[in-house]
Amino acid sequence: MKKSEINILVIDDENLVAEPIIKALNRSGYNAKYVKKLEEAQREVQIKEYQLAIIDCMLPKVNGVEVATQLNNNLSNKIKIILMSGIFKDIGFKKDAINKTKAIDFLEKPFNLDELLEKVDEAFSDVIDPELPPIQQLFQKPFNYDNVEVFKTINNLGTIHGFEVPLILSVLNSCKASGVIELKGSSSPIKIKLTQGYIYQVESNDTESYFGVLLIENGFSTPEEVAKGLALESQLPIGQRLWSTNTLSSHAIDIVHQEQLSIRLSKIIKADNYEINFREDNSVNSSLFISNESFYRFLNDWISTKIKSDWLLSYYTPWSDFKVQKGRNFSLLDSLKNIALVNLSPDINKAVINNELFSNLLNENKGKPFLLQSIYFLLLLEIIKFSEEKTTLVNFDFALQRVKNLKENFKNKNHYQILGVEKNTPKEKIQQAFHNFAIYLHPDKVPQNAPEELRNLTTEVFQVLTEAHQTLTNSQLKDKYNFELEHGKAEQIIHSENLFERGVLLLNNKKYDEASDLFDQVYELDMYSDDFFVYYCWALLKRGSPPSQKGKFLDLVEELLSKVPQENRHNSHYFFVKGLFLKQQGSFEKAQIAFKHSFTLNPDFKPAHIEWLSIEQKLNRNKSHLPSFMNIFKKKSS
């Protein structure tokens, strides 16, 4: 089931509360509608099937609890309920309201919209299919766009990355749309005006004209002619002044105007985020605009000079298991051979004929210059598109290579680069970027019969992504991370974190020598988290030492364990490592107590159970005294 198929009814008599909720839900992909009264709600549920109602408890003439009860009493298919109130905050009332309505949750106003979206997503997590971001779904649309749907998609985006501006321009060009794109970024607002899909004006705070310089560069005017034109007493633009004196043709004005627009657009396409809105307006018609021929050339320049490979690789991630197919403009391919990115592109004819997976196309052409940029160019012009369904067949060799490529790409990258986001990217977009990876990179997605190397490497790469996601969606962690980036420690921190995560993975896979070597490097870098020494000692103790060096070895481990802050000495891992240390010392009974503390704090931590059992057997205790948790190690009867 798609998010767009889930209908949500918001019932609240306050516009200022309801409208942001509706906007947030629609941006997230749901189909939301707003009503104010019980009667309106009852009419709605009779003509459309709703899956969720978000109801304010303080409505005119009737409270929200009664509304929820009446709605579900009259329906065979029950609606999920979320209650909200800025008045009723008593714990007893909330508990009673939830019991009466079987509500999912009760939110106190004012609440964070992200919190509401999380509740809604959680409510439908078992029925929603993994979905690609709406803007990227345009890469797989059928040949005929529905303009109304495209405009709605754009306006529901909320924010876009600066590198997505060419995509928006290309889509609106395909739609032959007339109107205004409004962008609000870190600087002043920008307006891009179109007529029949052609860009004819860009308004920004960029006061530099470029026109005179471009006239001279293109050989249409001399410096002296431009100077004379500027000296004329006139309010007309420089091009019109020169045309009026018969020193410049209208054809030259057209060409230079297009290049001037291209420069202004190029400045917009950058590593930034923009709030976006498109307003349709068919009343404007301009004779000066960027022609398709020029647009293709400018698009080539924007993509090849502005858009980073790191960002593109992250952006493409959700499409790995989709096939490359002919787009509706595939016939343009031969006529665009003079475009650099087309010449640099892989053998698209072969890929289309072979119905090739996108990930295979990338693997086969790895290392080719501008590979990612050339594919973006072809996608934006609809020369190629992605299949509407992803393949369910798994080629483990290709899957392994794909994960290896990601791992290689993540080396020495900061969290923002890994997820393909910026410092001012909204939280919901960071979550979406992480979701893009999780669609196919989550360890749970790896088939049980996959090679161990693929499973381990996927887990390792996903840990890197998870760390990036958790850091950038937690305001305190993000502020700390930004501070470290700004003070020039980012590269060392990233390197240290990468070594540490790899070490933990090796440790969990019982590769103690390799894990110890990586932790040695982390220690030498002197950049680690508070729990680093627990894992470091774990690896060292499992690796062990020659009998002749045991005394010095245990002294070293004891010194390292003493570096663990007091507040970090009350978790299962610490007690487990302390148990390993005591065991090496020969203090078996004390070690056993430490292991028991470990699995008491975390009953699912099996290594502590195993170590406890090994000491129990060593001390020759009666098996009848074994606690019930040891049953987890018994083979299940068939």
Q: What is the pLDDT of residues 580-610, one digit of tens each?
A: 999 999 999 999 988 988 887 788 999 999 9
> Which of 408 and 577 is assigned the larger pLDDT?
577
Question: Is 546 within a domain?
Answer: yes
User: For 518, phi and psi rounded to 5 degrees?
Assistant: -70, -40
Q: How many CB atoms lie within 10 A of CB 26?
A: 19
**SS3 readout for 182-238:** EEECCCCCEEEEEECCEEEEEECCCCCCCHHHHHHHCCCCCHHHHHHHHHCCCCCCH
Question: Is 298 within a domain?
Answer: no
- Residue 326: beta bridge partners? 384
131-140, 166-175, 534-543, 545-554: segment of lowest average pLDDT: 131-140
Supply the DSSP string of 346-382, one letter for each residue: --HHHHHHTT-BHHHHHHHTTT-TTHHHHHHHHHHTT
Residue 86, domain CATH: 3.40.50.2300
pLDDT-based confidence at residue 144 (cuts at 50, 70, 90): low
pLDDT score recorded for residue 141: 65
Condensed to tens digits (0 to 9), the pLDDT of residues 547-563 reads 899 999 998 898 788 77
* Residues 625 and 476 both lie in one domain: yes
Cα distance between residue 307 and residue 372, in whole Å = 10
Question: Is 100 within a domain?
Answer: yes
Question: Is residue 310 exposed (0-12), middle (13-18) or buried (19+ Cβ within 10 Å)?
Answer: middle
- In the predicted model, is pLDDT for residue 230 greater than 90? no
pLDDT-based confidence at residue 71 (cuts at 50, 70, 90): confident
Residue 577, domain CATH: 1.25.40.10
User: For 87, phi and psi rounded to 5 degrees?
Assistant: -105, -55
Q: What is the mean pLDDT of the chain?
A: 85
Compute the average pLDDT of residues 178-194: 92
- In the predicted model, is pLDDT for residue 465 greater than 90? yes
* Residues 334 and 422 both lie in one domain: no
Alpha-carbon distance values, 591 to 555, 574, 578, 582 (Å): 17, 12, 7, 5
> Which of 343 and 544 is assigned the larger pLDDT?
544
Q: How many CB atoms lie within 10 A of CB 606?
A: 13
Q: Which of 99, 123, 147 is the last residue of a domain?
A: 123
pLDDT-based confidence at residue 627 (cuts at 50, 70, 90): low
Question: Is 525 within a domain?
Answer: yes
Compute the average pLDDT of residues 395-410: 85
Condensed to tens digits (0 to 9), the pLDDT of residues 26-54 reads 888 899 999 998 889 989 988 999 999 99
* Residues 468 and 337 both lie in one domain: no
Structural domain containing residue 477: 402-633
Ordered strands of the 7-11 beta sheet: 31-35, 7-11, 52-56, 80-85, 105-108
Question: Is 475 within a domain?
Answer: yes
- Residue 53: beta bridge partners? 9, 81
Cα distance between residue 378 and residue 348, in whole Å = 9
* Residues 470 and 517 both lie in one domain: yes
* Residues 144 and 184 both lie in one domain: yes
* Residues 188 and 243 both lie in one domain: yes
* Residues 463 and 605 both lie in one domain: yes
Query: Does pTM top 0.75 for this prediction?
Result: no
- Residue 275: beta bridge partners? 159, 184
pLDDT score recorded for residue 223: 72
pLDDT score recorded for residue 143: 47
pLDDT-based confidence at residue 637 (cuts at 50, 70, 90): very low
Question: Is 638 within a domain?
Answer: no
pLDDT score recorded for residue 490: 64
Cα distance between residue 415 and residue 481, in whole Å = 9
pLDDT score recorded for residue 388: 82
- Count of domains observed in the chain: 4
Helix (H) or strand (E) holding 429: helix 427-441
Q: How many CB atoms lie within 10 A of CB 66?
A: 16
Question: Is residue 622 exposed (0-12), middle (13-18) or buried (19+ Cβ within 10 Å)?
Answer: exposed
* Residues 60 and 167 both lie in one domain: no
pLDDT score recorded for residue 131: 65
Condensed to tens digits (0 to 9), the pLDDT of residues 356-391 reads 888 888 888 877 777 888 999 999 999 998 888 878
Helix (H) or strand (E) holding 80: strand 80-85
Helix (H) or strand (E) holding 480: helix 475-486
Q: Which of 292, 322, 344 is the last residue of a domain?
A: 292
Secondary structure (3-state) at 463: helix
Let me know: does 300 contact 349? Beta carbons within 8 Å: no
Condensed to tens digits (0 to 9), the pLDDT of residues 92-142 reads 899 999 999 999 999 998 888 888 988 898 888 777 766 667 777 777 665
Distant-in-sequence, close-in-space partners of 135: CB < 8 Å, separation ≥ 6: 153, 154, 157, 160, 164, 167, 168
Q: Which of 139, 135, 133, 132 is nearest to 377 (CA)?
A: 139
Secondary structure (3-state) at 609: helix
pLDDT score recorded for residue 565: 62
pLDDT score recorded for residue 607: 93
> Which of 57 and 61 is assigned the larger pLDDT?
57
Q: How many CB atoms lie within 10 A of CB 255?
A: 17
Q: Which of 335, 363, 393 is the last residue of a domain?
A: 393
Cα distance between residue 606 and residue 269, in whole Å = 51
- In the predicted model, is pLDDT for residue 226 greater than 80? no
* Residues 489 and 541 both lie in one domain: yes
Cα 312-319-305 angle, rounded to 5 deg: 20
To the nearest whole percent, how much of the chain has pLDDT over 90? 36
Question: Is residue 434 exposed (0-12), middle (13-18) or buried (19+ Cβ within 10 Å)?
Answer: buried
* Residues 256 and 313 both lie in one domain: no
Cα distance between residue 303 and residue 374, in whole Å = 8
Compute the average pLDDT of residues 73-92: 86
> Which of 314 and 291 is assigned the larger pLDDT?
291
Question: Is 163 within a domain?
Answer: yes
Alpha-carbon distance values, 195 to 144, 172, 334, 385, 557 (Å): 19, 10, 27, 25, 72
Compute the average pLDDT of residues 170-194: 92
Question: Is 628 within a domain?
Answer: yes
- In the predicted model, is pLDDT for residue 168 greater than 90? yes
pLDDT-based confidence at residue 638 (cuts at 50, 70, 90): very low
* Residues 342 and 381 both lie in one domain: yes
* Residues 361 and 461 both lie in one domain: no
Q: Which of 195, 55, 52, 178 is nearest to 127 (CA)?
A: 52
Cα distance between residue 185 and residue 199, in whole Å = 20
